[in-house]
Amino acid sequence: MRDLDIVVAGGGIGGLTAAIALLRAGNRVTVFESARDFGEVGAGVTLAPNAMLGYKALGLDAAIEEKGISPHRQVVRHWQDGRVLKTLERGDGMREKYGAPYLYIHRADLHAILLDALSELGGKTNTASRVVSAGYDDKSGWVELADGQRHHSDLVVGADGVRSAVRSIYEPIEAHFTGHIAFRGIVPVDQALADYATNPGNIIGPDRLVVWYPLRGGSQLNLVFFAREGDWTEDGWTIPATREELRSIFAGWCEPVQQMIDRLDEERLFKWAINARTALRGWSQGGRITLLGDAAHAMTPFMGQGASSAIEDAVVLGRAVEASDDLPEALARYEATRIERATFIQQESNDNANRLQSKDADSFNKKEIRNEETLGLFAYDSAKVAV
Ligand SMILES: Cc1cc2nc3c(=O)[nH]c(=O)nc-3n(C[C@H](O)[C@H](O)[C@H](O)COP(=O)(O)OP(=O)(O)OC[C@H]3O[C@@H](n4cnc5c(N)ncnc54)[C@H](O)[C@@H]3O)c2cc1C
């Protein structure tokens, strides 16, 4: 099929990548995004080789590599004394082994690349357009916006994130709090932080985890501090946090962690709850509506595979539509190709929280490591997998 009218609800990494894949396959695509402006929170994202294979298929790999940074390796350190427990190779070996690099990129830079590609392909975008509902009839799918307008199309793709309005027609259940919170900040790299920028990694310890990596040519350091928190009532992506809060949560952790906390700019230090979804049995309704990315399978971020999975979904959806004679067939192919893998990654991401935040950090070094690479996730090529 081609020449379909397709509506994508949500202009995040998943929605924009899906729009590009569907445009490249010869369809017309309109994106409705609830935010006033397209953009992304000031934070980085890791694109594993499986994500970059997807972008290679969409012809975006060169632009992304130009803005991103491929590390040589990542170190995993002990929370008390900072000693190295494990070194994970991430350099040229990735490209040789998987055909694509492992890289870090600022979310805003990735977003800008996606928006440029979308507009070059003739995609339409509407901001300040919150989808409140979706549905379908014999002839079309539709989304209803907050202003009451209904937009009909051949296909509706719900890529509207963990709190997806489109998903609410599948089940009455809301996203659940996973018990984890994340604090995020980006700091400029000076002499004292230079070593962290060249040697990205994690510091692991009981119920806590610190992740750091360079962005924008190594001029910035992306910092994420994870902690388990029993209760959480606040909601939002930009709840202000304080250095004191972090100092108390990470009391007793080694000097590098204290140094990173000291460098944070409180004006730009935010925290939020990690919410997730339980797996759905099916993603499609009436051959007219489907889900993608966090709307379909929001997971904890402990394998850095949430965005990568959304990118895989997007490429497979584009291919499934192109390869099929009608929409029910296309959505069945999409779902059959994606649902098992996405559900597996969801589960493993949850389990990885326990592996990375174990009471005994030393045990990390003692057993066979089970992570995104050893599980074979990097080798998945969404452009080649059978649909
Ligand atoms: C701390 C943290 C670190 C992470 N690190 C990584 C990583 O390194 N690598 C990785 O692969 N993944 C990572 N992830 C996961 C990743 O961020 C998500 O999986 C990814 O952003 C999902 O993309 P999406 O487009 O499906 O959803 P989103 O990014 O949530 O995008 C949804 C879009 O839809 C819009 N929207 C929402 N509701 C509506 C509505 N009703 N109508 C219209 N528009 C709407 C939103 O404004 C947004 O633009 C991390 C997550 C967290 C929390």
Strand order in the sheet with 84-89: 84-89, 73-78, 201-205, 208-215, 220-228, 176-188, 270-276, 239-240
Please give the structure tokens belonging to residue 358: 């174990």
Distance 12 CA to ligand 1 centre (A): 6
Distance 307 CA to ligand 1 centre (A): 7
Q: How many CA atoms lie within 13 A of 22 on its CB side?
A: 30
- Cα–Cα distance between 100 and 14 in angstroms, integer? 19
Q: Considering only CA atoms, which residue is closest to atom 6 of ligand 1?
A: 304
Is the pTM of the predicted complex or chain greater than 0.75?
yes
Residue with tokens 């979804």: 277
Known catalytic residues? 213
pLDDT value of residue 236: 63
Which letter, b or e, does each residue of 330-341 get, where b requires 16 or more Cβ atoms within 10 Å of its Cβ?
bbbbbbebbbeb
Regions in the chain scoring below 70 on pLDDT:
39-41, 233-237
Query: Looking at ligand 1, which atom is closest to the CA of residue 299?
Result: 19
Please give the structure tokens belonging to residue 93: 């070996």
pLDDT value of residue 234: 66
| Cβ-based neighbour number of residue 194 at 10 Å | 13
- Cα–Cα distance between 115 and 136 in angstroms, integer? 28
pLDDT value of residue 40: 63
Residue ranges of domains in the chain = 5-69+101-174+277-358+370-379
Query: Looking at ligand 1, which atom is closest to the CA of residue 184?
Result: 1
Query: Looking at ligand 1, which atom is closest to the CA of residue 32?
Result: 43
Question: What string of H, E and C letters represents the secondary structure of 121-168?
Answer: CCCEEECCCCEEEEEECCCCEEEEECCCCEEEECEEEECCCCCCCCHH
| Residues flanking ligand 1, CB < 6 Å | 9-15, 32-35, 45-46, 130-131, 159-161, 165, 182, 224, 274, 293-295, 301, 304-308, 310
Count of residues in the chain: 387
Distance 113 CA to ligand 1 centre (A): 16
Distance 79 CA to ligand 1 centre (A): 29
**What is the distance between the terminal CA atoms of the chain, rounded to a whole angstrom?**
14
Q: Is 111 helix (H, G, I), strand (E, B) or coil?
A: helix
DSSP of 38-71, one letter per residue? ----S-EEEE-HHHHHHHHHTT-HHHHHHHSB--
Q: How far is CA 42 from CA 39, 174, 292, 314, in A?
A: 9, 26, 23, 23
pLDDT value of residue 240: 86
- Cα–Cα distance between 121 and 116 in angstroms, integer? 9
For ligand 1, pick from 7, 8, 13, 129 the residue to mutate: most ligand atoms within 8 Å of CB: 13
Q: Considering only CA atoms, which residue is closest to atom 1 of ligand 1?
A: 182
Name the DSSP class of 228: E
CATH number for the segment(s) 5-69+101-174+277-358+370-379: 3.50.50.60
Q: Considering only CA atoms, which residue is closest to atom 21 of ligand 1?
A: 307
DSSP of 306-359, one letter per residue? HHHHHHHHHHHHHHHHHH-SSHHHHHHHHHHHHHHHHHHHHHHHHHHHHHHT-S
Angle at 42 between CA 38 and CA 46, to 5 degrees: 100
pLDDT value of residue 366: 77
Distance 202 CA to ligand 1 centre (A): 22
